[in-house]
Amino acid sequence: MSDQLTVPAKRPFWRRSLAGVLDFFSVFFVGGYVVAWLTGGITNDGFHLNGLPAFALFALIGLYFYLGWNKLGGTIWQRLLKAR
């Protein structure tokens, strides 16, 4: 019997960083299109957000990472890459 606590192994840096980059780009483009669709910011080249819609997108990105890290046990890409 051991009284020592086992510390979970830290995942490799490349997995954690790749998951963060892929999460950011995924939520930026998907969230950007959703916000643009709701606010009429869709253009022929993609989407264009200024002012309050752009702020809403950045708030959405922050909310995604907050919920993923603190409430849901990992973001989508962290789970797919087993980075958490």
Domain that includes residue 39, residue range: 24-80
Looking at the domain assignment, is residue 50 inside a domain? yes
Counted domains in the chain: 1
The predicted-structure confidence for 21-35, as pLDDT tens digits, reads as follows 999 999 999 999 999
Mean pLDDT of the chain, nearest integer: 91
Instruction: Grade residue 1 by pLDDT with cuts at 50, 70 and 90.
Output: low
Rounded Cα gap, residues 46 and 64, in angstroms:
22
Q: Which residues contact 50 (CB under 8 A, 6 or more apart)?
A: 41
Residue 67 DSSP symbol:
I
